[in-house]
Amino acid sequence: MVRLVGVDLPRNKRIIYSLTYIHGIGLTSAKKIVELAKIRPETRTNDLTTEETVALRQTLEESDLKLEGDLRRFNGLNIKRLNEINCHRGKRHRNNLPVRGQRTRTNARSRRGSKKTVTGKKK
């Protein structure tokens, strides 16, 4: 089992796709990291040698990417700042509503949660 930046990578996936399990690494940056570490992209995670694992670890340390805890803390502080200055985006974050101008009359179910039915008014 390979553990990088505090994340256990899945065993039987190609190394490019298993690197995307680390928060802050997408497919493009995973390809660059594998290229810098001089590892074949089709290598499976469980087939990595110790030298390749060490090379990956060094490449991640040398990169200027914010990963895992640092990135989560950075994003959390940004949202906290928006809440504190009481701007529109901060209010939307506070109320668990879409932040970037999407409509909420219909849709927005993933952000607002499942439907809560309201009974009709009796005459």
Per-residue pLDDT of the chain (123 residues; tens, 9 = 90+): 888 888 999 999 999 999 999 999 999 999 999 999 999 999 999 999 999 999 999 999 998 889 988 999 999 999 999 999 999 999 999 999 999 999 998 888 888 888 888 888 887
Per-residue pLDDT, 35 = 94
Query: Can you read off the two tokens belonging to residue 72?
Result: 């989560």
pTM exceeding the 0.85 threshold for the entire prediction: no
Handedness of CA 23, 67, 54, 56 (dihedral sign): positive
